[in-house]
Amino acid sequence: MKTPLRHDLSAGPVLLACFGVFVLTVMDSVAKEMSLNHSTLDVVSIRYVSGLFWSGLAALFIRPPMPDAAMVRAHSVRAIFFGSTSFLFFYALKVLPIVETLVFTYVSPIFMALLGRILLKEKVPPATAIAIFISFSGVLIIAGGKSEGSLGLSGDLIGIIAALGSSATYALSMVLLRARTGTDAIATIVVLQTVLTSILILPLAFYFGDPIGTILSDWPLSLLFGLLGTIGQFAMAMALRSAPAARIGVVDYTSLVWASIIGMVIFAEWPALSVYLGAALIILASFLLLKQKKLPQLPNE
């Protein structure tokens, strides 16, 4: 059954997405700070333990409709990719500067185009093939620049792979989210997403890590972590409900500004010129996708 989705091309959804990206970038800095003292699995688990608290609190006031069986099934699949994205991304934040980690994730629109070809059997026009080539050229420039820096490429290679992997799983989770925002209530999506991802992550965290010890030792950051994540999810889900995913996806690039400022001021990270050159190529590739006469269509559009 097809469901109507809004296609609001005004500035409203874009500005809302900009706010969401800012909040999520601040959340990333909290994640990086916590990852300096705790394992990646513990940091991911705290993200969702704290998120359960804040999203549950929001649900008490908003009182979203209860999800039906079809919604639970759909978001259960998405939770797998969402949890994978969190783990891979937070690991990359642990071993790479925050700006570089975010720049590597900018290839998500490219992955969205590839997923459209694989899952939706869409044709890949020449402009898309060129965009993919340019995007990964940017990735290679950043990776090559690291071999000349103070950090060894061998130590960072796993982080680069993790960042790119998180971009792929994020793209898939966004495609799945876009397919559901036409019918599912925003608050229900955020709460259900947090609950389902927690069900997947927490058993692993309690078995292999120490989430309780992490919360007790860093409870102010733990609470802030979940609050920022919940606010950011609400903002992005609302923006995606109103506007095409490709239009909202471009807003992710504003995180380069926030991440640069946070990295320099808080973590004393000064990115090399190659990072910004690579980022420029990746962003250019994504704009080539947007310039196509017909944007990739997502399910139910």
The per-residue pLDDT for 296 is 41
Segment of 22-26, 63-67, 132-136, 285-289 carrying the highest mean pLDDT: 22-26
Q: Are 258 and 30 in contact (CB under 8 A)?
A: no
Distance CA 186, CA 156 (A): 37
64-78, 151-165, 184-198, 221-235: range with lowest mean pLDDT = 151-165
Residue 300 lies in a domain: no
CA angle 31, 252, 229 (to 5 degrees): 35
Q: Residues 165-216: pLDDT tens digits? A: 998 888 887 777 666 655 667 677 778 888 888 888 889 888 888 888 888 8
Residue 85's Cβ-side half-sphere holds a number of Cα atoms within 13 Å equal to 20
Burial (CB count <10 Å: 0-12, 13-18, 19+), residue 180: buried
Residue 237 lies in a domain: yes
pTM: 0.77
The per-residue pLDDT for 152 is 43
- Mean pLDDT, rounded, for 22-47: 91
Query: Which sign does the torsion angle of CA 152, 155, 161, 166 carry?
Result: negative
Q: Are 252 and 21 in contact (CB under 8 A)?
A: yes
The per-residue pLDDT for 43 is 92
Q: Are 79 and 193 in contact (CB under 8 A)?
A: yes
- Mean pLDDT, rounded, for 67-73: 79
| Higher-confidence position of 94 and 184 | 94
| 75, two tokens | 């978001």
Residue 299 lies in a domain: no
Nearest to 259 by CA among 135, 138, 132, 104: 104
Q: Are 65 and 150 in contact (CB under 8 A)?
A: no
- Mean pLDDT, rounded, for 207-236: 87
148 pLDDT above the threshold of 80: no
Distance CA 112, CA 117 (A): 9
Nearest to 229 by CA among 53, 100, 94: 53
Confidence band for 23, pLDDT divided at 50, 70 and 90: very high
| Number of domains present in the structure of the chain | 1
The per-residue pLDDT for 249 is 66
Confidence band for 25, pLDDT divided at 50, 70 and 90: very high
94 pLDDT above the threshold of 80: yes
Confidence band for 248, pLDDT divided at 50, 70 and 90: confident
Residue 175 lies in a domain: yes
Residue 89 lies in a domain: yes
Residue with tokens 């559009």: 301
Q: Which domain holds residue 170?
A: 11-290
Nearest to 289 by CA among 89, 100, 78, 122: 122
